Amino acid sequence: MSLDVYQRLLALSQGRAVPAASRAHRHLSPRPWLLTGYHLAGEPSAPVAIRYGSFRDSPKLLTVAEPRDRALRFAALGGLARDLATYLSRYTVTEPVVRATGNGRELDVDQCCVDAPQLVVPNEATAHWVGLLGQYLRTLDDPVLAAAGAHLGWIASRRHLPGSSVLLTATDLLTTHWRTGQLPTEDGHLGRLLAWIEPPAGSDAWQAARDAEAMPPAGPASDPSWDQVVLRPALERAKEQGDVRRLKLAAAEVLDGAWRDTWAAIDLVRMLPPGEHVAKRWESDRWSWTRHRERVLAGTVSFSARLSDVPAYRFLHELETRTAALERQMALDDPLVMARYLATGEAVAGVVIKRDPEHTVVNSGGRSVLRPLLWVRTPAAFDRPAGTELWWGKVGMVVRGSTDDTVELMVTSGAVTRPKLGLLPDADAEVVLAPFGPLQYFPDNLPDELPWPTRSSRPQAAPEPEQDDDLDTDLAALAPQTVASSPDPGDTAGAGRVPGHRAAPDGAVAPTEPRGAR
Amino acid sequence: MDPRRIAGLLDAPGCRRRQVLDAAQVDLGLLAEAIGAPPGGQSPYARERDGTFTHLATARLPELVGRHLGIDCDGAVETSELPVGAGLWVWRSPKLRLGGLPVTPEQIVLAGDGKLLHPVEIRSYACLDGHADPTKVAGTARELAVVVAALRQAAPVPERVSGRCLLVLPRNFGLAPVGTLLDVAPQVRRLSWSLAQLDAVDLPSALRLPQLAGDTLVSALTEVEARFGDGCPSCPMYTHCRQDAERSGTVARAGGAAANLCGPVGTAVHALALAHGERTPSGEAEQAISDELARAAAAYGWAVGGSGFAVDGKRGAR
């Protein structure tokens, strides 16, 4: 979009990020749970150090002296699982909510959690890792670890839904609200991003960004030379002499930057006034959390690697609906976001120069109906064709024609009866006509016959040959004789627990907005 | 040069400096030292995992090759030339060429079914529930394309080297190998285009000298024009070109989208002057760019300065 490019060029020439939003478009919990960490290079299931907690000054630090040793790994992850459960237990209070059911004709009282948990991580890679960690934990037999895996799975599944604030990444928080003058891929580095938004006194963004780059990365993959120079000696000392002080020190030092930066990102966004629709979007997260809790209590949590046809249809439908709703809500909440549509010419700003409230047309039924006309003077030619629909709040109109500096519009909804004519903009009023009308609701009813072969009508595929010797990277398992005799109990158990036919990825697909109640 | 480096040519299409860097076979270690780039390399833990998995997977190769390619064999046989017939071969440190460039992978594993030879590649990133990281698979596909193209150049009958490769990855969180067929034909075609571009590069005389180092190397490279863009962070010259771009204030520093929109308008200062009407556009192209940016500037000014348009009826004039 041209506004995006313009903002990047401005930032480039000023050596400082420029605002891309004037409202906070993500819900920020008063008590988020932050998680930063490192795993062993190439092994997401082998964490080396994780720093987490909801208190800025007293985070918990977890280190694993030998990340490839299953017993040590489980002990450490067990601590994380218990702390996560404690944090989540704060969000069990529910309140009765009246909601419409059955096509909106009947009312029903349902219980919804008054607040939901929120996890904040420094970058996309860590957010992805949270999902992997959840997936790994779910393959284990330990009930505490498996429960934590289910929760992390729900949290990670919300990441893909536009407008959800359950799992936030600091880099996404900042790129939503600011534009930098660097490569978009460089925006994925949290330190660089912060350097652009708030360069330390006396240095420009370029220098600050280079300094930030020299710091250890925000994880979860560490720097190869740090692995070699710091981590390796520390891990060896911890393993051989049982002395974990050096490891704890190294981990605390290296995770400190990411921890501080993540909080700094939250602070920056907290300074913006929240957008009007943010609370409404958070409500959908609260419903999803409520449903997830119900499934956990009933023991019916399940995740599937691939969606089968109908859930896939529902998931795509939800993604599309949410994307459209998020774009619309952000634009209506925030002039800086609306400016993107002005820049592309989808929206138009101008002054009402003439009105004809008495204009009528004859409709298809032969009756004469009121369709007021407006003429709006615009700074540049409006280049969309006649028939384009635009809205001014709840007043809908279509473009009848346009010249170099004027658009002629006919009001078609919102103010087409005499008592409502007062809702029309006054002459000389400055208006922004946007392509966003009242919320559109697309029911996701499936047709009677699916236009694609469904699972039931398709011959069952032969079951894949099961490879039962999924080796763990456990040190003991690396010895060849153990390999043959000890198949990984974790994976086979996991394979049994994830039912292929029940492809409901929980929160990801289940209707979460009250509006979607069927 | 290893296949990864040659595959890197595909990351920065149209950058002459990158082409010259590879055409002159510049030593990347010397280059990093000369421009003060941070040390790269692989973590010792990643290397260990790589080694362990390669060892385990190699032992299981006959089974995987049988299942996915339908080739019966007992085990890999060492070879020192392009093999013929059916079976499984390991060719350690082959000396191949691609165009004018040497290609020296550590080893190539080949599975032959009597007619075609299929390269087999073992990598240690996980395949979770049948999905592997798409970026990593794409990178592997490009490197395999280099191997396939180099083998075809070496083969008496190039068609005998198949573009269908077997990729072996660890399954889920463990180390059990799982195989997938990967067709790298599109990558091979893209590569041949890039190599044709490379052949057309006129190497500057300074770079013809063997083993340049330090400032001489850097100044010889900077004589050639660079094209800064989104693919640059993976290039060995990245930190140097980046500083160059910052000094000159080129729009490309802000990414490919900015460079594409601004077209012939090279610097951010120039583009902003057009946007703010402080400079008269020369020519039709500049006029179009100027119109587009001016509209963005007006919209931004409206949003930040609040010139008073009402976004919706209920909020009234701001």
Tell me the two tokens of residue B229. 């863009």
On the question of pLDDT at A477 being above 70, the answer is no
* pLDDT tens-place string over residues A357-387: 899 999 888 899 999 999 999 888 888 899 9
Count CB neighbours of A214 within 10 A. 8
* pLDDT tens-place string over residues B185-239: 999 999 888 888 777 777 777 777 667 777 788 888 888 888 898 888 888 888 8
Tell me the two tokens of residue B194. 């890039």
Task: Report residue A32's pLDDT band, with 50, 70 and 90 as the boundaries.
Answer: very high
Q: Which of A1, A2, A478 to mutate to test the interface with B (most CBs of B within 10 A)?
A: A2
Question: What gap in Å lies between CA A209 and CA A201, rounded to an integer?
Answer: 13
Q: Which amino acid is at B245?
A: A
A438-447, A481-490, B4-13: the lowest-pLDDT one: A481-490
Residue of A nearest to B292 (CA): A2
List phi, psi (to 5°) of A356: -135, 80
CB contacts < 8 A (A, B):
211
Q: Which of A1, A4, A8, A9 to mutate to test the interface with B (most CBs of B within 10 A)?
A: A9
On the question of pLDDT at A465 being above 80, the answer is no
Which among A2, A13, A231 has CB closest to B293?
A2
> Contacts of residue A395 in chain B, CB cutoff 8 Å?
313
Strand-strand pairing, B86-92 and B77-79: parallel
Does A359 reach chain B within 8 Å, measured CB to CB?
A: no
Which among B49, B229, B251 has CB closest to A43?
B49
On the question of pLDDT at A496 being above 70, the answer is no
**pLDDT value of position A98:** 86
Contact A184 B306 (CB under 8 A): no
Contact B129 A306 (CB under 8 A): yes
Contact B309 A432 (CB under 8 A): yes
Does A133 reach chain B within 8 Å, measured CB to CB?
A: no
DSSP A500: S
| 67-106 of A, contacting B, C-beta below 8 A | none
> Contacts of residue B313 in chain A, CB cutoff 8 Å?
392-395, 423, 425
Contact A338 B232 (CB under 8 A): no
On the question of pLDDT at B279 being above 50, the answer is yes
Mean per-residue pLDDT of chain B: 86
Is residue A374 classed as helix, strand or coil in its secondary structure? Answer: strand
Q: Averaging pLDDT over each range in A285-289, A437-441, B43-47, B72-76, which range is the top one?
A: A285-289
Distance from CA of A87 to the nearest CA of B (A): 27
Minimal CA–CA distance to B155: which of B106, B115, B107?
B115
Contact A349 B302 (CB under 8 A): yes
Distance from CA of A471 to the nearest CA of B (A): 5
Residue of A nearest to B230 (CA): A183
On the question of pLDDT at A121 being above 60, the answer is yes
Task: Report residue A500's pLDDT band, with 50, 70 and 90 as the boundaries.
Answer: very low
Minimal CA–CA distance to B128: which of B69, B181, B76, B169?
B169
On the question of pLDDT at A29 being above 50, the answer is yes
CA B245 to chain centre: 21
Residue of A nearest to B257 (CA): A5
Minimal CA–CA distance to B152: which of B163, B143, B168, B165?
B163
Which among B49, B52, B311 has CB closest to A335?
B311
**pLDDT value of position B25:** 82
On the question of pLDDT at B313 being above 80, the answer is no
* pLDDT tens-place string over residues A166-196: 999 999 999 999 999 999 999 999 999 999 9
* pLDDT tens-place string over residues A123-139: 999 999 999 999 999 98
Handedness of CA A348, A349, A355, A358 (dihedral sign): positive
Minimal CA–CA distance to A51: which of A230, A258, A235, A286?
A258
Does A486 reach chain B within 8 Å, measured CB to CB?
A: no
Q: Are A26 and A167 in contact (CB under 8 A)?
A: no
Q: pTM for the full model? A: 0.86
HSE-up (13 A, CA, CB side) for residue A415: 24
On the question of pLDDT at A216 being above 90, the answer is no
Minimal CA–CA distance to A207: which of A191, A184, A190?
A191
* pLDDT tens-place string over residues A307-331: 877 888 888 888 988 999 999 999 9
Angle between helices A143-158 and A278-298 (to 10 degrees): 150
The residue-averaged pLDDT of A402-428 equals: 90
On the question of pLDDT at A466 being above 80, the answer is no
Which among B46, B176, B303 has CB closest to A469?
B176
Contact B45 A40 (CB under 8 A): yes
Task: Report residue A218's pLDDT band, with 50, 70 and 90 as the boundaries.
Answer: confident
Mean per-residue pLDDT of chain A: 84
The residue-averaged pLDDT of A412-420 equals: 88
On the question of pLDDT at A470 being above 60, the answer is no
Q: How far is CA B14 from CA A355, A428, B228, B249, in A?
A: 55, 53, 10, 20
Does A12 reach chain B within 8 Å, measured CB to CB?
A: yes
Minimal CA–CA distance to B72: which of B64, B80, B82?
B64
Tell me the two tokens of residue B17. 């400096």
On the question of pLDDT at B23 being above 60, the answer is yes
Minimal CA–CA distance to A372: which of A418, A320, A330?
A418
Q: CA-CA-CA-CA torsion for B303, B307, B309, B315, nearest 10 degrees?
A: 80
Task: Report residue B274's pLDDT band, with 50, 70 and 90 as the boundaries.
Answer: very high
**pLDDT value of position A456:** 52
**pLDDT value of position A490:** 36
Report the alpha-carbon angle B215-B221-B241, nearest 5: 90
Q: According to the 3-state scheme, what is the secondary structure of chain B? A: CCHHHHHHHHCCCCCHHHHHHHHCCCCHHHHHHHHCCCCCCCCHHHHHHHHHHHHHHHHHHHHHHHHHHCCCCCCCEEECCCCCCEEEEEEECCCEEECCEEECCCEEEEEEECCCEEEEEECCCCEECCEECHHHHHHHHHHHHHHHHHHHHHCCCHHHECCEEEEEEEECCCCCEEEEEEECHHHHHHHHHHHHHHHCCCCCHHHHCCCCCHHHHHHHHHCCCCCCCCCHHHCCCHHHHHHHHHHHCEHHHHCHHHHHHHCCCCEHHHHHHHHCCCCCCCHHHHHHHHHHHHHHHHHHHHHHHCCCCECCCCCCCC
